[in-house]
Chains A and B, each alone.
Chain A
Amino acid sequence: EAGVAQSPRYKIIEKRQSVAFWCNPISGHATLYWYQQILGQGPKLLIQFQNNGVVDDSQLPKDRFSAERLKGVDSTLKIQPAKLEDSAVYLCASSLTGVPYEQYFGPGTRLTVT
């Protein structure tokens, strides 16, 4: 069974530029999560989708971050414009509906904002 796929794996941009990350969850997983992991900290949930609807986006900085999951499968997380403090690893995870706390994580995208 293929795992959660993310791309790109690494990205370096200058502040005020835009960036997008892509995630393809495990086949059949209706729930998808985006986490931000700043160096030296644990992951923090940014947004959770159930199919193509948002379940929780309470910690998403909506002035610059956006995410979509249009067809209920893969998802895109965008930052526009980026700030230095956005430098982090962005992790995507997925799970089956009705099976709480069984999240499978992708390898992450490491973003460096200079």
Chain B
Amino acid sequence: AQSVTQPDIHITVSEGASLELRCNYSYGATPYLFWYVQSPGQGLQLLLKYFSGDTLVQGIKGFEAEFKRSQSSFNLRKPSVHWSDAAEHFCAVGPRARNTDKLIFGTGTRLQVFP
């Protein structure tokens, strides 16, 4: 069955510290991979995506993610966290198919940032 696992429900970091949010997926073939952020009362915003090519992808707000096929992982990283990064972060996958763009989301990781 297709699934996305985000093992960390809640992560707390100090402002300026580095960050890594974990994401593992289970899928028949390598899917498209995404990270979204959801601030309180806001809709989801796309941080970055991986379709093909370089396995290290850059996104908005200084985030990056690395696709590791051997580990079925797509971990999100940021070298220096800002207080405004406090939000819910979701990893998602989608099939490489022409007639669908159905996203499957993980359960999310809540990021808390201390000053």
Q: Which A residues are within 8 Å of any B CB, using their own CB?
A: 3-4, 40-45, 48, 55-56, 91, 93, 95, 100-108
Known contacts A42-B4, A42-B108: A107-B42 contact under CB 8 Å:
yes
Known contacts A42-B92, A108-B43: A101-B105 contact under CB 8 Å:
no
Q: Which B residues are within 8 Å of any A CB, using their own CB?
A: 4, 32, 34, 41-46, 49, 90, 92, 94, 100-103, 105-108
Known contacts A40-B107, A44-B105, A48-B102: A101-B94 contact under CB 8 Å:
yes
Known contacts A101-B34, A101-B94: A41-B44 contact under CB 8 Å:
no
List, in ascending order, chain B residues with CB within 8 A of A106's CB.
43
Q: Is the interface of A mostly helix, strand, loop or mixed?
A: loop
CB distance from A50 to the nearest CB of B (A): 10
